[in-house]
Amino acid sequence: MSPGSAGPDGPAESPVLVTARRARAAATELAPLPRTVRDGALLAIADALVARAGEIVEANVRDVERARAAGTSAAVVDRLTLTPERIAAIASDVRDIVALPDPVGEVVRGSTLPGGLELRQVRVPLGVVGIIYEARPNVTVDAAVLCLKSGNAVLLRGSSSAYASNTALVAVVRDAVAAAGLPADAVQLVPGESRESVRELMGARGLVDVLIPRGGASLIQTVVSESTVPVIETGVGNVHVYVDELADLDMAVEILVNSKAQRPSVCNAAETVLVHQGIAEAFLPRALAALTEAGVTVHGDESWQKAGAAAGVEVLPVTGEDWATEYLSHDIAAGVVPDLDAAVAHIRRWSSGHTEAIVTRDALAARRFVSLVDSAAVMVNASTRFTDGGQFGFGAEIGISTQKLHARGPMGLPELTSTKYVVTGDGHTRG
Amino acid sequence: MSPGSAGPDGPAESPVLVTARRARAAATELAPLPRTVRDGALLAIADALVARAGEIVEANVRDVERARAAGTSAAVVDRLTLTPERIAAIASDVRDIVALPDPVGEVVRGSTLPGGLELRQVRVPLGVVGIIYEARPNVTVDAAVLCLKSGNAVLLRGSSSAYASNTALVAVVRDAVAAAGLPADAVQLVPGESRESVRELMGARGLVDVLIPRGGASLIQTVVSESTVPVIETGVGNVHVYVDELADLDMAVEILVNSKAQRPSVCNAAETVLVHQGIAEAFLPRALAALTEAGVTVHGDESWQKAGAAAGVEVLPVTGEDWATEYLSHDIAAGVVPDLDAAVAHIRRWSSGHTEAIVTRDALAARRFVSLVDSAAVMVNASTRFTDGGQFGFGAEIGISTQKLHARGPMGLPELTSTKYVVTGDGHTRG
């Protein structure tokens, strides 16, 4: 079926729906294939990426030039840039994913029922997974490979700023997939660079099984509120570090600085620090010194401002806006709270449900914090930066879910599957 | 906060949003409570239902009289009716649920990471669960108790035809819950009998964690397409029985009749039978005789019509409409297919993804059918009527999910939970 031609159920379909229908057909072919076949295709992708690095870089140069001409920041241009070395690294990541355990076919639950029926709950692919993501072209390969490994067809909707790179990458991937005997339509770029193509994808319920938006808060908000296709919300991290009354001061400073400044641009970086008033006097000066040294600007409440004045460090006044903000920069909102429950209440009000940390020596305080905080990950005496599929030992991650349904926290391969009950009898009927 | 008063974030809130906000607060209180406290409340509910059966029946009589006056069918009136015996049975079901394993706190996954961080993935309640359901008032207690058992607050939106009964039941449940030391707002009836209250519930994203519609296809369709709160689609069952070329004829007839006629009004009853052409000549006459004896009207293709004419049984002509219909009555659509793959293609096109069955002696055919059919449950030589939380040994069920995200098939207590990662270190930071 060519783009724009009539689908089986009606008049002319949009190119996006045609693509989705092809993905559905490919998913049907893909689901029953054994691991060896899928893994063979993934290895072929890794080889092809290295072999055809030249044409990928050539396409990427066009995106990079366009971005530079548009005055894009150097950091973003860097994230967009592909070199032969970076492509080799992507290929190496693909090989690592091949080695991961196959989630498909895992028997999650099994029993023989009292009447003799044999019940098995078996992992199966979700079917068609749609990924909507921003600038980085390495996500194109990563998402495609994770979906194929878990038996899914994937629809990739990257940003228009990486369109040439993504087109080249997907062409390489599709060729390799087809050569390995899998349907090429298991990996497709969603046609069109406009917002309209995202809207059509969000309306393709029945053809697309799940949409995973990866990117900024506004993209995710749009998809969550407008999609009729089920969505997994990912990646918005308004992350808190709470320093308890009985915290080890050195440890608290180290965890705070690491959580905030080790890589401020990512979702598991801290955005707010809350300090128990009983330790504030001792902690604030040391925290201010360490944060300042790490290049962090503090947006603080009165206590933090006083401590700043005393230390000769500028502390900007914090606002409600600050508590709500995922800075993704060298900024942090900072407050002092009367007790642990006040910290929890603050977190419940402002957190995006990604990750929060407590630093404390008090086992009961740690237990209470873990129990009351309603987020995907809760760290006790550890940096918030550990919320990550790689760090958690999952080998790979398609995103970090901040919702409670289906998957919560870093999503690895099992989170890209559903299950099916298989019930076997020898003529069983219900009385 | 009284209905209609100002919420923390804006002007006057609707009664539905006020209710949802109270549920959120109750969920926060509920989540950290240990099993013994929750179970105590459930036992108190069971006792209170029996003790206060009189006032429940009194309220129910008003609904029943209203239904009779409106000319409601005897079957529906019967489903609406509560008697002291039926209330005792509901109370007994509550006690059975108390005895089930507690899903909350279960460690789903755990490991010590290479750097020494201790990782645990722990089951936690979803939070606030909204259930939208139709006539039967026993669902009110059932849903409330399953949600409480799994640590969730529940918002109940029953049908207006059971409003008096539901109001009485929820009053009894809330009193018992409060007396046991839990927040009464953990169980609330959504105020208002209009469609508008459903609409507001569907928009309460952030206050309500999941909506589970239980009822007819049109209710479920509305919720799925309009809700910004995540939805679990349940219960629409366009269920197929495929009789393979190598089926045991007696077994096939028994499974077909049981699947269709043992209780036609429920979602796991069969709605279509597909027969391999190689066995059609032998099977159709016997199937027609058995279906007719069970009071079933067949809507058949040409082969079935011919077989009907030969047997002197009226077979109505089948239409596309029939293939799509969940009759929930003594009707069945019937076709002959050239082979197993054609049966699978038919099922993929028309099924709602609930349950399909194959009857066959051929192990390879069974394996292929199980592998290719994309439904929540696949039966091999067993009646479709077995797709049920009770039959599967889950002890209870909040619904049967026909979607792939979060839960698929009968949903027991674990499906009413999410998880949280708890990561414990002694000062771990990322290098």
- Which of B204, B234, B264 is the C-terminal boundary of a domain? B234
Cβ of B425 and A379 within 8 Å?
yes
Q: Please tell me which residue of chain A has the smallest CA distance to B116.
A: A382
Q: Please tell me which residue of chain B has the smallest CA distance to A344.
A: B28
| Same domain as B217, residue B122 | yes
| Same domain as A247, residue A193 | no
In a domain, A401, yes or no: no
Q: Is A391 on the interface with B (CB under 8 A)?
A: yes
Nearest to A286 by CA among A259, A249, A323, A260: A249
Answer yes or no: pTM beyond 0.90.
yes
Residues A28 and A7: their CA atoms lie apart, in Å, by 17
Question: Is 80 exceeded by the pLDDT of residue A251?
Answer: yes
In a domain, A430, yes or no: no
Amino acid A123: pLDDT: 97
| Angle at the Cα of A386 from the Cα atoms of A383 and A387, rounded to 5 degrees | 120
Q: Which domain holds residue B48?
A: 15-234
| CATH classification at residue A30 | 3.40.605.10
> How many A/B residue pairs have CB atoms within 8 Å?
211
Residue that is written with structure tokens 């790179």 in the block: A165
**C-alpha distances out from residue B6 to A348, B10, B13, B118, Å:** 20, 6, 6, 44
DSSP result, B266-331: STTSEEEEEEEHHHHHHHHHHHHHHHHHTTPEEEE-HHHHHHHHHHT--EEEP-HHHHH----SSE
| Same domain as B49, residue B27 | yes
Which amino acid makes up residue B27? Answer: A
In a domain, A104, yes or no: yes
Which amino acid makes up residue A235? Answer: G
DSSP result, B208-247: BSEEEEES-HHHHHHHHHH-SS-B--B----EEEEE-TT-
Question: Is 70 exceeded by the pLDDT of residue B268?
Answer: yes
Q: Is B251 on the interface with A (CB under 8 A)?
A: yes
SS3 for B134-162 is: CCCCHHHHHHHHHHHHCCCEEEEECCHHH
Cβ of B393 and A429 within 8 Å?
no
Nearest to A37 by CA among A181, A186, A185: A181
B355-359 and B239-243 as β-strands: parallel, antiparallel, unpaired?
A: parallel
In a domain, B8, yes or no: no
Of the pLDDT bands very low, low, confident and very high (cuts 50, 70, 90), residue B10 is low
Question: In this complex, which of B228, B372, B392 lies closest to A32 when CB atoms are compared?
Answer: B372
Nearest to A223 by CA among A132, A122, A352, A323: A132
CB A124 within 8 A of CB A418: yes
pLDDT digits (tens, 9 = 90+) for B36-95: 999 999 999 999 999 999 999 999 999 999 999 999 999 889 989 999 999 999 999 999
Q: Minimum mean pLDDT among A15-19, A158-162, A284-288, B363-367: which range?
A: A158-162
Amino acid B228: pLDDT: 87
Task: Kindly report the nearest CA distance between residue A313 and chain B, in angstroms.
Answer: 25
Which amino acid makes up residue B343? Answer: A
* Pair of tokens at residue A35: 């691991």
| CATH classification at residue A383 | 3.40.309.10
Question: In this complex, which of A386, A406, A426 lies closest to B405 when CB atoms are compared?
Answer: A406
Cβ of A391 and B430 within 8 Å?
yes
| Strand ranges inside A307-401, DSSP E | 315-317, 331-337, 355-359, 377-382, 399-401
Residue B231, CB half-sphere, CA atoms under 13 Å: how many?
28
Q: Is B371 on the interface with A (CB under 8 A)?
A: yes
pLDDT digits (tens, 9 = 90+) for B82-138: 999 999 999 999 999 999 999 999 999 999 999 999 999 999 999 999 999 987 898
| Same domain as A52, residue A67 | yes
Question: In this complex, which of A228, A254, A406 lies closest to B427 when CB atoms are compared?
Answer: A254
SS3 A329: coil
pLDDT digits (tens, 9 = 90+) for A59-90: 999 999 999 999 999 988 998 999 999 999 99
Residues B295 and B289: their CA atoms lie apart, in Å, by 10
Q: Is B406 on the interface with A (CB under 8 A)?
A: yes
Q: Is the ipTM of this complex over 0.90?
A: yes
| Same domain as B197, residue B49 | yes
- Which of B212, B234, B256 is the C-terminal boundary of a domain? B234
Cβ of B421 and A113 within 8 Å?
no
Contacts of B425 in chain A (CB under 8 A): 379-382, 386
| Same domain as B289, residue B197 | no
Q: Is A126 on the interface with B (CB under 8 A)?
A: yes
Residues in chain A: 431
Cβ of A117 and B382 within 8 Å?
yes
Task: Kindly report the nearest CA distance between residue B65 and chain A, in angstroms.
Answer: 33
| Same domain as A322, residue A266 | yes
Nearest to B184 by CA among B54, B332, B26: B26
Cβ of A378 and B420 within 8 Å?
yes
* Pair of tokens at residue B135: 């006539």
SS3 B126: coil
Q: Is A420 on the interface with B (CB under 8 A)?
A: yes
Of the pLDDT bands very low, low, confident and very high (cuts 50, 70, 90), residue A192 is confident
Q: Please tell me which residue of chain B has the smallest CA distance to A225.
A: B228
Helix (H) or strand (E) holding B187: strand B187-189
Q: Is A213 on the interface with B (CB under 8 A)?
A: no
Contacts of A31 in chain B (CB under 8 A): 371-372, 374
| Same domain as A75, residue A130 | yes
| Same domain as B66, residue B211 | yes
In a domain, B410, yes or no: no
- Which of B173, B207, B234 is the C-terminal boundary of a domain? B234
B377-382 and A417-428 as β-strands: parallel, antiparallel, unpaired?
A: parallel
Cβ of B408 and A429 within 8 Å?
no
In a domain, B428, yes or no: no
| Same domain as B268, residue B372 | yes
Number of domains chain B contains: 2
Cβ of A379 and B210 within 8 Å?
no
Burial grade of A365 (CB within 10 A; 0-12, 13-18, 19 or more): buried
Amino acid A257: pLDDT: 98
| Same domain as A286, residue A170 | no
Residue A121, CB half-sphere, CA atoms under 13 Å: how many?
18
Which amino acid makes up residue A246? Answer: L
Q: Is A321 on the interface with B (CB under 8 A)?
A: no
| Same domain as A214, residue A158 | yes
Helix (H) or strand (E) holding B315: strand B315-317
Q: Please tell me which residue of chain A has the smallest CA distance to B209.
A: A404
